[in-house]
């Protein structure tokens, strides 16, 4: 087996749920990746274990979780993460969300936070305004990196499963700068 994943969910109460998941992945040589040079080909075993807890009721949802990813037998390459989230489906007529993630791996350590406000407009139209920021430190050089962005997201269902999605973003920081736009036209069948 090259890929395996399993999840176990347990409903503690009508408004609380715990989830434990495991996944493993190992690349193998095939006709699709035979052109990747041997020095760049990653055939290490990647495994992950993650747990989460969700508590919610009457339009408010709180989530907390954590996980670890193992890369072969080298503990220096393990990656650890923890997350917290709060969502409301009706905050003064708007959807709202607040998320935070902390992480550490063999190369970097840092945090990411984002907030989002959104509103459905009926007839399959939906829009969100989001702000996010990330901070991380490169372990080998102790260099600090900071990025932040604001994003406007719009989605609309057209006819017969066809949808249109657009994201407009403006970013500032050490890794990204300036505007970006994403446009997607798709069909759900």
Q: Are strands 108-122 and 125-138 parallel, antiparallel or unpaired?
A: antiparallel
In angstroms, the CA 18 to CA 55 distance is: 9
pTM: predicted TM-score of the whole model, two decimal places:
0.77
Nearest 5°: CA angle at 11, between 5 and 15?
125
In this structure, are residues 126 and 155 in contact, taking their beta carbons and an 8 Å threshold?
yes
In angstroms, the CA 145 to CA 164 distance is: 34
Mean pLDDT of 10-33: 90
According to DSSP, residue 93 is labeled T
In angstroms, the CA 164 to CA 167 distance is: 10
Please give the pLDDT value at position 73. Answer: 67
Mean pLDDT of 129-140: 96
pLDDT tier at 174, thresholds 50, 70, 90: very high
Name the percent of the chain lying above pLDDT 90.
Answer: 68
Please give the pLDDT value at position 77. Answer: 78
Task: Indicate the average pLDDT of the chain.
Answer: 91
Please give the pLDDT value at position 118. Answer: 95
Q: pLDDT (tens digit, 9 = 90+) per residue, 60-103?
A: 999 999 999 987 666 777 899 999 999 998 888 899 999 999 99
Q: Is the predicted pLDDT of residue 157 greater than 70, yes or no?
A: yes
DSSP letters for 119-154:
EEEETTEEEEEEEEEEEEEETTTTEEEEEEEEEEEE
């Amino acid at each position: 087996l090259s890929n395996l994943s399993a999840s176990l969910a347990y409903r503690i109460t009508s408004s609380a749920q715990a989830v434990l998941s495991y996944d493993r992945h190992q690349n193998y040589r095939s006709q699709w990746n035979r052109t990747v040079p041997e020095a760049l080909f990653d055939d290490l075993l990647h495994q992950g274990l993650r747990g989460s807890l969700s508590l919610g009721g009457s339009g408010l949802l709180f989530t907390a979780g954590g996980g670890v990813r193992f890369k072969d037998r080298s503990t220096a390459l393990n990656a650890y993460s923890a997350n917290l989230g709060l969502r409301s489906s009706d905050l003064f007529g708007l959807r709202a969300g607040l998320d935070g993630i902390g992480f550490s791996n063999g190369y970097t350590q840092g945090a990411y936070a984002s907030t989002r406000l959104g509103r459905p407009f009926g007839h399959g139209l939906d829009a969100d305004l989001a702000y996010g920021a990330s901070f991380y430190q490169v372990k080998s050089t102790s260099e600090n990196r900071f990025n932040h962005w604001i994003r406007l997201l719009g989605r609309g269902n057209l006819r017969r499963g066809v949808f249109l999605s657009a994201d407009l973003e403006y970013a500032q920081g050490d890794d990204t700068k300036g505007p970006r736009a994403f446009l997607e036209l798709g069909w759900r069948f």
